[in-house]
Amino acid sequence: MSVKEEVRKMKLDAPFLAASSIETRNKALELIGENLLAHADEIFAANEKDLAAAKENLISQAVMKRLKFNEGKLQDVVAGIKQLISLPDPLERTTLARELDEGLTLYRISCPIGVIGVIFEARPDALVQISTLCIKSGNCAILKGGKETTHTNRKLFALIHESVIAAGLPANCMMQAEQHSEIDELLECHDSVDLLIPRGSNQFVQYIMNNTKIPVMGHADGICHIYVDADADQEKALPIIVDAKTQYTAACNAVETLLVNRSIAKEFLPKLYAVLKENGVTLRGTQEVADIIAVEAIGEEEFIEYLDLIASVKLVDNVDEAINHINTHGSHHTDSIISENEETVCRFMQMVDSAGVYQNCSTRFADGFRYGFGAEVGISTSKIHARGPVGLEGLVTYKYKLFGNGHIVNDYATGKKSFHFKNL
C-alpha cells in the first residue's frame, strides 16, 4: 500500500483516537512499557544488528553512542512512559466557557491536532518518546527514524503497535515509514496530514519546509547567543559559557556567538580566552576583538552555527545593540544575558524575539526534559502555535463547541435578541 493510502486510512481513524478515553490511552502506555520490558532481549538483538552494520559503514563514535539501545536506555524510556502516564489528560480541557445568551453556550475545548508526521534522527529512544507523546495527546503518528536504526525501530514499533491495539485504540493510529523515498510521498499528503515535525540538519529541515503544503513545526538552525553585560558577574559568566559551548557541542541549543559589552572587554576577553582554550574551544572575532586577544579576525557575516568547538565574539555598546544583533542575526531559538542589573535583564527578556530568553544560565537548558515536560517531540522556533521545547501541550489544539436550542443569527442581527456574554 502507498504512503498516501495508508495515511488516508489513518485520517479516518483519527476521530476515534480523538474520542478515546484517557483510561484507554494510559492503558496503551502501560502495555507499551510492559511489552518493551518483556521483549528486551529481542530489542537488544535487533540493536546489535544495527550496531554491526554501523561499524561496517564506519559510522562516527558520536552516532554509534546514540544508536546503542541497552538496558540503561530501556530503563530510561520506561521511566519516561511512567512519567507520561502520571501527567494529566491534555484533551477535553475547557479553556473558555461563556454563555452568549440564554440557552446558547460556547466552550473552547482542547483536542488533538490529528495526524502528525515526525521525521527524526537515528535514536531508538526517540521513537518510543515520540510515539508515546502522540498516543497520550490522541494524535495519529507517522514515524520515520534514521536508517541506521532500521532493525531496532522495526522491533520497537511492532511492540508499541501491538500494545496500542491490545488497549483498544484504532489499528491505523500509528505507522512507520522506513524508506527515505517515503518522506517525499508524505510531503504530498496535505489532505491527510495536519503537521510535520522534522528533526535533523538545517539543510534537511529547510528541504521539508520548502517542499510541502503541510504546516511544519521545528527549527532549521540554532544560532544561540550569550550577551555578557557591563553589569555581569564575570566569574559567573565563564562557567556558563563553557557549559553552553562544550557540554554538547552538536546540539541546537549550544552557544555560537558571544556578545561582550565594550566597557568590560579588555578585562573580560583575556579571561574568556584562557578558560575556553583550556576547554579546547577556538575563538574567532571581529577586528577589535582580535586586537585584544589572539584570535582570527572575521567579519560578522562569517558568524555561523559551528556545531563544533568554535565560537564567534563581537563587542557591543549596550544591551540594545546586543538585542538588535540577536534579533537580526540569531535564529530565534535561545539566548542568554549575563547581568546582575534587573532593568537591563528585563529589557533583554522583553525585546529579544526568541523562544527562550535566559538570565545567568546556560542556553543548554532549552530542552523538554529540563523544562519538566517529560519529553519533547522537538524544539520550535516558529512563533505560530507551539514555541520552544514541544511536549503534550504543543501537541493539542482546540475547537469551539456551541450548544444552542434553536438559536438563529437573524434574531441578533435584527435586534430582536442580544448577546449577554456571561463567562461561566
Beta carbon of residue 308, minimum distance to its own copies (angstroms, whole number)? 18
CB 205 within 8 A of CB 198: yes
Which residue, 184 or 320, has its beta carbon nearer to its own copies? 320
Which residue, 160 or 390, has its beta carbon nearer to its own copies? 390
* Residue 121 in grid coordinates: 534522527
CA neighbor of 273 nearest in space, from 306, 240, 238:
238
What are the helix (H) ranges across 19-123? 22-38, 40-56, 61-67, 71-86
The string over 165-186, giving b where at least 16 C-beta atoms fall within 10 Å of a residue's C-beta and e elsewhere, is: eebebbebbbbbbeeeebbeeb
What are the helix (H) ranges across 57-123? 61-67, 71-86
Of residues 200 through 239, those in contact with its own copies by CB under 8 A are 209-210, 213, 215, 217, 233, 236, 239
Beta carbon of residue 328, minimum distance to its own copies (angstroms, whole number)? 8
Beta carbon of residue 345, minimum distance to its own copies (angstroms, whole number)? 8
Beta carbon of residue 350, minimum distance to its own copies (angstroms, whole number)? 4
Pairing of strands 140-144, 115-119: parallel
For residue 7, which amino acid is it?
Answer: V
Of residues 96 through 115, those in contact with its own copies by CB under 8 A are 98, 100, 104, 106, 111, 113-114
Which residue, 73 or 155, has its beta carbon nearer to its own copies? 73
Of residues 245 through 304, those in contact with its own copies by CB under 8 A are 247-248
Beta carbon of residue 4, minimum distance to its own copies (angstroms, whole number)? 15
CA 166, 169, 172, 176 torsion-angle sign? negative
Of residues 389 through 418, those in contact with its own copies by CB under 8 A are 389, 397-410, 412-413
Of residues 104 through 163, those in contact with its own copies by CB under 8 A are 104, 106, 111, 113-114
Beta carbon of residue 27, minimum distance to its own copies (angstroms, whole number)? 19
CB 328 within 8 A of CB 236: no
Beta carbon of residue 158, minimum distance to its own copies (angstroms, whole number)? 29
Among 76, 308, 350, 424, binds its own copies (CB under 8 A): 350
Helix axes 265-278, 234-246, angle to 10 degrees: 40
Which residue, 145 or 356, has its beta carbon nearer to its own copies? 356
Beta carbon of residue 56, minimum distance to its own copies (angstroms, whole number)? 31
CA 8 to CA 21: how far, in whole Å? 23
CA neighbor of 135 nearest in space, from 6, 9, 23, 7:
23
Which residue, 11 or 199, has its beta carbon nearer to its own copies? 11
CA 376 to CA 97: how far, in whole Å? 30
Among 23, 102, 421, 424, binds its own copies (CB under 8 A): 421
Please choose, out of 51-59, 173-181, 292-300, 353-361, the segment that lies near its own copies by the rule CB under 8 A: 353-361
Among 347, 375, 377, 392, binds its own copies (CB under 8 A): 347
The H-or-E segment that residue 296 falls in is strand 296-297
Which residue, 158 or 309, has its beta carbon nearer to its own copies? 309
**Residue 80: HSE in the Cβ half-sphere, 13 Å Cα cutoff:** 27
Of residues 1 through 30, those in contact with its own copies by CB under 8 A are 11-12, 14-16, 18-19
Site string for its own copies, 58-97 (x = CB under 8 A): ----------------------------------------
**Residue 87: HSE in the Cβ half-sphere, 13 Å Cα cutoff:** 23
Residues that contact its own copies, how many (by CB under 8 A):
79
Query: What's the order of all strands across the beta sheet hosting 422-423?
Result: 104-112, 94-101, 422-423
